[in-house]
Structure 1
């Protein structure tokens, strides 16, 4: 039996092979993160054994760089163990290998770790769950990008037409955005022709509402305190910013359509839990992966980073511990968002939230407690694959 350790890099990987007695067959074989590079590794292995059942492979889950070689080797039929870098760090310290981190040492170290079998394998999600994680994370990135663009739009609008925001409660609504695409400065509203007005209204659903807003903008534009220079450059910025916002918002809709389709295929009962819609469900399922990774709900709480960090020194132990925030930030954000809704809409979570508030807890602290309770519910629903049921506590 042979054990292959692969130290993952961005452009190149390094592999070392040992036998079942720990004797090194080869070490520090460098190959590129390409198809040709992966094929060269196979050729190297064939010199020692032609049977893939005689080789077990180990690699660290380093960023996203391991996915290509992992996918290649899985298709070839190899047995692959993906380990968390934290485990190899612990193994390295146990062997007293310090301040000598090299590709050679690490690849041999991983091979030894696999040979001894003293490791916990990273549980990889199935393809649909991984797709949910990819889509939900990318959606999060797009939403963040829209936020940046909106802040920039407000900054430009404050300079050219500061009174504009007094007319709309939401300047990024469909009507407002369409108006801004056509009229950006106070001067634009001074002399609007009927043809211009009709052209704009033809693209807006709420035509009467839009007409009233344009009339209001025309009235206040006469006394605007906006800048009167460089208007062409400001106008172009506003137009392009609004177009970018529209474009990315359409991308978000496309992602949500695919998320909904995947959730229909998975058919998880998680969406029966209060506060968890399709977007939150995609994030939670994608970040959790296989629920069997968590033997009890408290481990899921810790993975989300919503457990309390312990501050202790000697005989002193703090009673005012903060949230650890060690886990997945995407999962934590989704849980808090769901907890906010659940604490208002579900009788069980609402009562629990109010209980925490009555104990003098701050609103955010109470929501944190609800999110932890939500973890327990999620664990039970996914573990038993059953829908959520409202179960009010018994009263005497």
Structure 2
């Protein structure tokens, strides 16, 4: 009696991706396979699979990192199932954690993929991904601006120069910049250092303004409807709205506030051992950038919205930092509700 193969053979590929090379481990549903290195090109892997595993159902996985999603999109265009996974979500034994190599990483990803224990992250579409890059560029400029301001102030403190009281604040007005331009040191070298730093300050300041303008413009152009919904919420301005749309994607994919709060990092951390139970503050696992933006937006919300202000006052007397996190969680819940119902928020409505 002849036998026929009715099940499609499966191939599970774990990849440890780096700039110069990939470490690849191929395992089938019947054997553990082999590990090898290859140039960082998806087409090379396609040729290898077609040559050695023709007719197999292919699934691939690799860790999210600096190499982005190009490989993922190429694998999907080949008709393969592809996952980009959070490195923290990949289970590893103690030995694998203390003996880390590219080969072990590739084998580990392939094993977890084969066992069905991997869950991929949300891969943004190219438009949203590149808007996110612009948003992150703006945050890089914020850091650069903070740094150059610190350098200039340190130079003044080092030489014992006191800043006039009208200018001694975080806001650098045109008057303060003019005062710095007219400042004179005993030697030309001191003047040259300050002049060079002021040139850097003005360049970063102009670049920051240009990028912020482009960020607002592109958000209105590509996500006009969602942007208007978010802008209706007190505390959420154009930059925060751009960050939500670029970093979090479409909020409608979250089933409830618990999922969204866990993703952003506004969920409580809990540690329990036997009868001992304690809260460890907000979760360590978080989207730190967006969490910080929501906390900053909460300070604006309690000034502009009576409902938020009443919620803040209800917790008066407690730790201010903990209270503002509660407000941020409420603001996040409101944001999700507005996006799901697609009804703009009205001030004063609970």
> What TM-score, normalized by structure 2, do the two folds share?
0.85
Instruction: Indicate the SS of the match to 1:361.
Output: coil
Residues 305, 324 of structure 1: 8 Å contact kept: yes
Partner residue, 2:299: 340
| 1:22 Cα deviation after fit | 3.3
Partner residue, 2:218: 262
Counterpart of 1:315 (choices 275, 290, 309) is: 275
Instruction: Indicate the SS of the match to 2:117.
Output: coil
CA RMSD of aligned residues (A): 2.8
Partner residue, 1:79: 81
1:23 aligns with 2:34: no
Matched residues in 1 for 2:42 and 2:282: separation?
Answer: 43
Q: 1:102 to 1:321 in 2, by over 3 A?
A: closer
Q: 1:15 to 1:372 in 2, by over 3 A?
A: same
1:57 aligns with 2:60: yes
Partner residue, 1:44: 48
Residues 22, 112 of structure 1: 8 Å contact kept: no
1:253 aligns with 2:209: yes
> What TM-score, normalized by structure 1, do the two folds share?
0.76
Correspondence list, 1:276-287, <5 A = 276-287=236-247
Q: Deviations over 1:174-204 (max 9, x none)?
A: 23324433x2217xxxxxxxxxxxxxxxxxx
Q: 1:351 to 1:98 in 2, by over 3 A?
A: closer
Structure (1 or 2) with the larger CA radius of gyration: 1
Q: 1:326 to 1:309 in 2, by over 3 A?
A: same
Instruction: Indicate the SS of the match to 1:14.
Output: strand
Partner residue, 2:20: 11
Partner residue, 2:129: 130
Matched residues in 1 for 2:119 and 2:250: separation?
Answer: 15
Unaligned stretches of 5+ in structure 2?
A: 1-9
Partner residue, 1:192: none
Residues 252, 336 of structure 2: 8 Å contact kept: no
Counterpart of 1:288 (choices 232, 243, 248) is: 248
Residues 61, 82 of structure 2: 8 Å contact kept: yes
What is the total number of aligned residue pairs between the two structures?
A: 336
1:297 aligns with 2:244: no
| 1:152 Cα deviation after fit | 1.2
Residues 60, 80 of structure 2: 8 Å contact kept: yes
Q: Deviations over 1:347-386 (max 9, x none)?
A: 11111111111xx213222211100101111121223333
Matched residues in 2 for 1:356 and 1:310: separation?
Answer: 22
Q: Deviations over 1:302-335 (max 9, x none)?
A: 22222222244442334x7523343011011100
Partner residue, 1:195: none
| 1:72 Cα deviation after fit | 4.3
1:273 aligns with 2:233: yes
Unaligned stretches of 5+ in structure 1?
A: 187-227
Q: 1:13 to 1:236 in 2, by over 3 A?
A: same
Matched residues in 2 for 1:336 and 1:263: separation?
Answer: 22
Q: 1:379 to 1:172 in 2, by over 3 A?
A: same
Matched residues in 1 for 2:102 and 2:135: separation?
Answer: 34
Residues 137, 330 of structure 1: 8 Å contact kept: no
